[in-house]
C-alpha cells in the first residue's frame, strides 16, 4: 500500500521540500512504519532522496517513491508520464505497462 500523505516528521519535511520543487512524495506503509519507529533515520531519508534526485533529472510532477528493502530505506523516481500511463492502463483494466 502506498500513501500520498506523510505520517512521520521526517516524511512531512521531505514532502514539503519536494513540493517546493514541484515534486511529490509517496511512501509505502513499511517505510512509514520504519520512519515512525526510528525517527533518527530522517538524515538517511534525506540522503536517499538526494541520491535519487542527483541520479535522475527530476521534472515537475514526478514522484519520489519511498519504500524499504531489507530494513533499509529505498527511494526511486517515478516519472509523471509513467504514472499517467499506469493510471490509464488501470482504468482500462489492462496490465501495468511496466510489467
Give the tens place of pLDDT for each residue, 9-58.
Answer: 899 999 999 999 999 999 999 999 999 888 788 899 999 999 999 988 88
pLDDT of residue 93: 72
The residue among 85, 88, 58 whose CA lies nearest residue 98 is 85
Domain boundaries, the chain: 2-91
What CATH code is assigned to 2-91?
A: 1.10.8.60
Predicted confidence at residue 57, as pLDDT, reads: 85
Higher pLDDT, 8 or 15: 15
Q: Do the beta carbons of residue 45 and residue 35 sit within 8 Å?
A: yes
Q: Is residue 92 predicted with pLDDT exceeding 60?
A: yes
Measured between its terminal Cα atoms, the distance across the chain in Å is 18
Report the pLDDT value the prediction gives residue 1, as an integer from 0 to 100.
Answer: 46
Instruction: Take residue 97 and report the three cell numbers written for it.
Output: 505497462
Amino acid at each position: 500500500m502506498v500513501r500520498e500523505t506523510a505520517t512521520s516528521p521526517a516524511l512531512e519535511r521531505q514532502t514539503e521540500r519536494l513540493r517546493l520543487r514541484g515534486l511529490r512524495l509517496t511512501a509505502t506503509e513499511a517505510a512509514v512504519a520504519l520512519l515512525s519507529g526510528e525517527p533518527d533515520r530522517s538524515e538517511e531519508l534525506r540522503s536517499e532522496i538526494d541520491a535519487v534526485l542527483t541520479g535522475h533529472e527530476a521534472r515537475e510532477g514526478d514522484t519520489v517513491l519511498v519504500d524499504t528493502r531489507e530494513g533499509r530505506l529505498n527511494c526511486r523516481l517515478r516519472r509523471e508520464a509513467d504514472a499517467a500511463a499506469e493510471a490509464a492502463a488501470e482504468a482500462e483494466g489492462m496490465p501495468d505497462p511496466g510489467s
